[in-house]
Copies of this chain bind each other. A is one copy, B any other.
Amino acid sequence: MEKLKELPGGICAPRGFKAGGVRAGIKAGASKRDLALVYSDRPCSSAAVFTRNRVQAASVIVSREHLKKSGGRIRALIANSGNANACTGETGLAAARRMAALGAEKLALRPEECAVASTGVIGVPLPLPLIEAAMDELAASLCTGADGALAALEAIMTTDTRKKQGALQCTLPRAHDIRIGAMTKGSGMIHPSMATMICLITTDAALSPAMLDRALRRAVDRSFNRLTVDGDMSTNDMVLIMAGGAAENEPIETEGEAYEVFAGALETLCVKLARAMARDGEGASRLITVTVAGAASEADAAVLARSVAGSSLVKAACFGADANWGRVLCALGYAGIPFDPAAAAISFKSAEGSIPVCRDGASLPFSEAEAKKILSRDEIEILIDLNGRRAGQAESFSGGSEGAGSGSAGPGSASAWGCDLSFEYVKINGDYRS
């Protein structure tokens, strides 16, 4: 993981990609961009992960079809905000197909080489004529560099308040520098697995579709699937990666050192964006990282951590900077994973310091004032050790990001990310459509 270097430029940081975004008029009111296009000037390997909700948006159905039909060779994405094109029946499906075809036509691609994504209100027909009318301008807006990436990102945002993008460079064996860039939107209806999120990842590395798929699934499992804002799994979730190969590395077609470097960098970027999404959760005032150590497996630890991060009562307590650790233990208790509550230890941590509040499943004496100070920061950690009986307990976490590992009873540790539950969340969601 050494030698990761952050880059500017988001999805246009990798060589060979162009992006653009315009206003088509799908989003009511404001003069905001709402239609995005991203294009690789080379053929790509591609892979994607979609929502597991049984109700799936037309864009999800069509993109899955195109991924399959092209044999993992998607090289463009057309995406809109302001309308999810979900629960819109056969008409919606036809609209999504038409939207992909419009993008493909402008780029001289086959329709199945173009994926489509939509986000916004559910159940309202997609205003296709607005998209058709904007296609010339959209194609003309394509450009390399940071401006193109930013225009595309702005065009997929809904209630997002921050621009969530990033890019990394890393070095494969034989000194090949490759780049990975990503942009994501999503701040409400966010829950494992996935979210109302659209995430597009670009890379100039060369990989086979199969290895790209494997690396993507691993990264998503350890990032976006550990994210929860409100417990609602969306109809529109999609993470798409396109690998164009402009870096001209020897194509990664098997596991090995090059795959590991690539997959590790991809995971790092996805975790960064997942954290950014939690921080930008609807109405959020704090980013909450929940880390569980001492579980039987990483998978068990992830379920426990997500249960805590998803608890309305824990989230509301964090909003109030209230060190109500009993709610943390309670949320562990209903996660459906066996553990011994009488051995659990809990600490709260932030840039203000850390404070152990529970050991052996029971209260430790602690200063409420100090706890409040720690919990008042905009980034807080809840550290849980399922075998806190060994000395030092939660203090032994390695920075709180991926948990302890060494010294745990069980070998499993994992983090999940969420945010507090605020007045603002209710305000945003009590009147989203109006």
Q: Interface residues, chain A, CB within 8 Å of chain B?
A: 52-56, 84, 86-89, 91-92, 121-125, 188-189, 191, 230-235, 310-313, 316-317, 319-320, 322, 324-327, 329-334, 338-339, 341-342, 358, 360-363, 421-423, 425-434
Q: Are A426 and B429 in contact (CB under 8 A)?
A: no
CA distance A329 to B232 in the complex (A): 11
- A367: min CB distance to chain B, Å: 14
A426 contacts which chain B residues (CB < 8 A)?
316, 319, 421-423, 425-426
Q: Top 8 A-B pairs ranked by shortest CB distance?
A: A122-B326, A320-B430, A55-B333, A316-B429, A89-B362, A123-B326, A233-B334, A53-B333
Residue on B nearest A364 in the bound complex, by CB: B123
A317 contacts which chain B residues (CB < 8 A)?
429-430, 432
CA distance A423 to B362 in the complex (A): 31
Known: A125-B363, A362-B123, A363-B123. Is A334-B87 also a contact (CB below 8 A)?
A: no
* Most B CB within 10 A of own CB, among A122, A311, A330, A341: A330
CA distance A87 to B333 in the complex (A): 11
CA distance A235 to B325 in the complex (A): 13
Q: Are A316 and B363 in contact (CB under 8 A)?
A: no
* Most B CB within 10 A of own CB, among A317, A342, A429: A429
CA distance A165 to B147 in the complex (A): 64
Residue on B nearest A428 in the bound complex, by CB: B316
Q: Are A311 and B54 in contact (CB under 8 A)?
A: no
A313 contacts which chain B residues (CB < 8 A)?
188-189, 230, 232, 429
CA distance A245 to B234 in the complex (A): 53
A231 contacts which chain B residues (CB < 8 A)?
231, 310-312
The SS class assigned to the A binding surface is loop
Q: Are A122 and B329 in contact (CB under 8 A)?
A: yes
A123 contacts which chain B residues (CB < 8 A)?
325-326, 329, 358, 362-363
Q: Are B87 and A329 in contact (CB under 8 A)?
A: yes
Q: Are A124 and B363 in contact (CB under 8 A)?
A: yes
Residue on B nearest A313 in the bound complex, by CB: B232
CA distance A319 to B339 in the complex (A): 37
- A387: min CB distance to chain B, Å: 15
A334 contacts which chain B residues (CB < 8 A)?
52-54, 191, 232-233
Residue on B nearest A125 in the bound complex, by CB: B363
Q: Are A232 and B333 in contact (CB under 8 A)?
A: no
Known: A84-B326, A122-B329, A334-B54. Is A92-B316 also a contact (CB below 8 A)?
A: no
List 25 A–B pairs whose Cβ atoms lie within 8 Å, in order of A's numbering. A53-B330, A53-B334, A54-B332, A54-B333, A55-B333, A84-B326, A87-B363, A88-B362, A89-B342, A89-B360, A122-B327, A122-B329, A189-B327, A232-B330, A233-B330, A233-B333, A233-B334, A234-B330, A312-B429, A313-B429, A316-B428, A316-B429, A320-B429, A322-B430, A423-B426
A191 contacts which chain B residues (CB < 8 A)?
334
Pick from B55, B84, B324: contact of A332, CB under 8 Å: B55
Residue on B nearest A327 in the bound complex, by CB: B122
Pick from B52, B86, B327: contact of A326, CB under 8 Å: B86
A327 contacts which chain B residues (CB < 8 A)?
122, 189, 232
A310 contacts which chain B residues (CB < 8 A)?
231
Residue on B nearest A421 in the bound complex, by CB: B426
A189 contacts which chain B residues (CB < 8 A)?
313, 327, 330
